[in-house]
Structure 1
Amino acid sequence: MLPPLMEPGTYAVEPEPSGWPRKPWSEIGEDEAEARGVFARVGHGLSFGAAGAVVLAPGDSRGMALIPGRLDGYCLGLDGRDGPNLACTRCGQAVATRVDDCSLWQAVWLAPDAVRRLPDDGPDTRPDDWDTLVSERRSTPPIEQLGYWHPKWEAAVGAALAHLLVASGGAPVGLPDGLLTDLFGRALDAHLPKGPPVKRLALGGPTLTRPDADILLVPVHPQTGDTWSPPSGTAAAVVPLSADVWMHLALPQEQVPPIPVTGGMPSGVLRDDPLPLRPYRLFDPDSRVFLDTLARLPAVRQPWLREIFDRATGRP
């Protein structure tokens, strides 16, 4: 039900251990968890597999074949529960895991202990700068054709919400009218005290300056993972947000639908059909991404934030 995690021709590296073996929390001490950057128990335990797994779009995999007997899953696809399920077609060694089961992002995960990266013979490609990214305006629309909120938006807002709660310091946060209120409003109402806003949230980033905001929602570079930094002297706290979501919020573009027309419709005039997509339900941030992100922020050890974490764990 979810699309590929990665865009074609791209890859990402998971810096944390992944896969088997896994240990339940009953076998993991608090000091050991904090050494791994985990400050609250989330899920059923932690992976103690190899770090550095590389994830690709399924269509970018080459020279691999599925391994019979390792193709189990929970529902209608593969979830990798039996370990690597793709083998090298030349040597037969298990080298990757194909994932495409229901509720899981479609991906191929290369086992870090079975593959190695080699330099490309092509030209050296440097990451785009912020000016280039802004000019291209590559973004993901928030609503899918059937009226569902896009899962990338649910995940991105779930991660940003964890950082936003930390930046709030437990005080009420004021949101601008519009989509930001749709995305964060209900969650902040549920977790923060009622009353007049003490801090105000605004979009920040390339081409945007909001000196009156206490908290800035800024983009994360889609190629490097670096969070955009405001100019020196800016006192506002920074909350990272996925760039393709930030682009849609900060640089909205009204597209003229590609529908043939006759007559003299002036250039740039928008048609009223098809109507803009509308969601069929209110927005909910991805609770698993929210809890996983919050568990890895040291501030979760503060009593007021730990109370929110425990409450969200029990009633996501």
Structure 2
Amino acid sequence: MHVFVCAGCGAELTAPLARVPLPAEAHLSYGHGPMPPLMEPGTYAVDPEPSGPPFRPWEKIGEAEAAARGLFAPVYPLSFGARDRIVVAPGDVRGTVLIPEHSGDSCLGMCAGELPNMACAGCGLLVASRVDDCGLWQAVWIEPDAVRRVPTGLPVPAREFEQLPPLDPAGGWSDVWQAATGAALARVLVASGGTSLALPDGLLTEVFGPALDLLLPAGGPTKTVGLAGPGMPDHGLDIALVPYDQETCGPWRPPGGTVPVPLPDGVWAYLALPGETWPLPASGTLPDGVLRDDYPLPDHPWYVFRPDHRAFRATLARCPEVRQPWLRALYDRGF
């Protein structure tokens, strides 16, 4: 666990936090309504890429400069802001004051502007930007040069794989699910090498199958795709959807030559550890190993689930393999 302190005066600016992977939806916007917090309480993530202003058109930088930044296909807009910004939940921030006039061109809330809109209450150093405008995830983005990370000595909470349902509270498809599967779809596509894929029956095929059917040829050589993770048997898969490693924030590594594709814990747990889902208690008991079979049909939005195409393209643009003609054609075409 760590706290972030002001680089100017040393005042603590956050509660104790544990590092987690940057969510795939971090830089995506959604409609015109208010959004929930991006980060879970007690966590932080680091964005290794430049983010925020200033921006430059893709056409004004060369392929060599773009590749040096880890970009291998056109990205709009192209940020030339700071790298390694830290994102935390607004409720985990301490000892700061808000500067509303530093907010950018916002609508119903605040967004990042040319200058950070939060300052250290102790010395006035500009340290972060609060974001809560319509369509933007509520978050505080901390400037990497304005803070220091200090260990607290507290242990990281034990990991629990809590399932995240694919439906949001309003009854639509979860934005987190769509972004996570969009990013994973790009990595599965790269790992396929352009060959057809065999997925197991069930929810995994329902989520990824329709898009992969559009993106990959049918027939010919086939690679197997499935789920892997801590405590699960090794099925000798070619490509495995796995949770993130808690210590490295990279994908959990399956044994052998299986290519790992990470998913957020909640999404992975829902796919890999479905278990019993009946929401109401039943009178009496059933024999061990027997599940009820009279469940009502689950809630289902009126529109078909689709992985987020923005997360798909953002992830694929950062894979060197996208320079291969077949992948670049799919990047330009989408799904």
TM-score (norm 1): 0.84
From 42, 47, 55, the equivalent of 1:22 is: 55
Measured in 1, the distance between the counterparts of 2:53 and 2:114 equals 9
Q: Hey, what does 2:87 align to over in structure 1?
A: 55
Q: Which has the higher contact order (CA 8 A, sep 6+)?
A: 2
1:39-89 CA-partner distances (Å, limit 9, x unpaired): 1111222x2222221111011112223213233444422221343112223
Measured in 2, the distance between the counterparts of 1:38 and 1:287 equals 17
> Bigger CA drift: 3-12 or 203-212?
203-212
Q: How many residues are treated as equivalent by the alignment?
A: 299
From 129, 133, 137, the equivalent of 1:97 is: 129
Measured in 2, the distance between the counterparts of 1:75 and 1:112 equals 27
Measured in 1, the distance between the counterparts of 2:156 and 2:248 equals 10
From 46, 49, 54, the equivalent of 1:13 is: 46
Q: Hey, what does 1:244 align to over in structure 2?
A: 266
User: Are positions 1:265 and 2:284 aligned together?
Assistant: yes
Q: What letter matches 1:292 in structure 2?
A: A
Q: Hey, what does 1:162 align to over in structure 2?
A: 186
From 299, 309, 313, the equivalent of 1:287 is: 309
1:12-37 CA-partner distances (Å, limit 9, x unpaired): 12222222333222332211111111
Structure 2 residues without counterparts, runs of 5 or longer: 1-33
Measured in 2, the distance between the counterparts of 1:213 and 1:273 equals 32
Structure 1 residues without counterparts, runs of 5 or longer: none
Q: Hey, what does 2:70 align to over in structure 1?
A: 37
> Bigger CA drift: 214-223 or 269-278?
269-278
Measured in 2, the distance between the counterparts of 1:154 and 1:7 equals 18
Tell me the secondary structure at the aligned position of residue 290 of structure 1. helix
Tell me if the contact between 2:44 and 2:88 (Cα under 8 Å) persists in the aligned partners.
yes
User: Are positions 1:296 and 2:328 aligned together?
Assistant: no
Identity %: 53
Measured in 1, the distance between the counterparts of 2:66 and 2:330 equals 20
Q: What letter matches 1:169 in structure 2?
A: G
Alignment of 1:150-299 (within 5 A): 150-195=174-219, 198-222=222-246, 224-231=248-255, 234-257=256-279, 264-266=283-285, 276-299=298-321
Measured in 2, the distance between the counterparts of 1:273 and 1:177 equals 20
Tell me if the contact between 1:203 and 1:210 (Cα under 8 Å) persists in the aligned partners.
no
| CA 287–75 in structure 1, closer or farther in 2 if over 3 Å, else same | farther
Measured in 2, the distance between the counterparts of 1:15 and 1:81 equals 20
Tell me if the contact between 2:223 and 2:239 (Cα under 8 Å) persists in the aligned partners.
yes
Measured in 1, the distance between the counterparts of 2:51 and 2:112 equals 12
Q: How far apart are residue 250 of structure 1 and its match?
A: 0.8
Q: How far apart are residue 145 of structure 1 and its match?
A: 2.9
| CA 204–68 in structure 1, closer or farther in 2 if over 3 Å, else same | closer
Measured in 1, the distance between the counterparts of 2:110 and 2:43 equals 22
| CA 212–90 in structure 1, closer or farther in 2 if over 3 Å, else same | closer
Measured in 2, the distance between the counterparts of 1:273 and 1:230 equals 35
Measured in 2, the distance between the counterparts of 1:172 and 1:67 equals 53
Considering only aligned residues, what root-mean-square deviation do their CA atoms show, in Å?
A: 2.6
Measured in 1, the distance between the counterparts of 2:101 and 2:125 equals 15
Q: How far apart are residue 271 of structure 1 and its match?
A: 10
Alignment of 1:86-165 (within 5 A): 86-120=118-152, 122-123=153-154, 125=155, 133=159, 136-165=160-189
Tell me the secondary structure at the aligned position of residue 145 of structure 1. coil
| CA 196–29 in structure 1, closer or farther in 2 if over 3 Å, else same | closer
Q: How far apart are residue 253 of structure 1 and its match?
A: 3.0
Tell me the secondary structure at the aligned position of residue 75 of structure 2. coil
Measured in 2, the distance between the counterparts of 1:105 and 1:67 equals 19
From 82, 104, 110, the equivalent of 1:78 is: 110
| CA 103–174 in structure 1, closer or farther in 2 if over 3 Å, else same | farther
Measured in 2, the distance between the counterparts of 1:285 and 1:248 equals 16
1:247-293 CA-partner distances (Å, limit 9, x unpaired): 1111113245367x8xx433797696886332332111112211111
Q: How far apart are residue 159 of structure 1 and its match?
A: 1.0
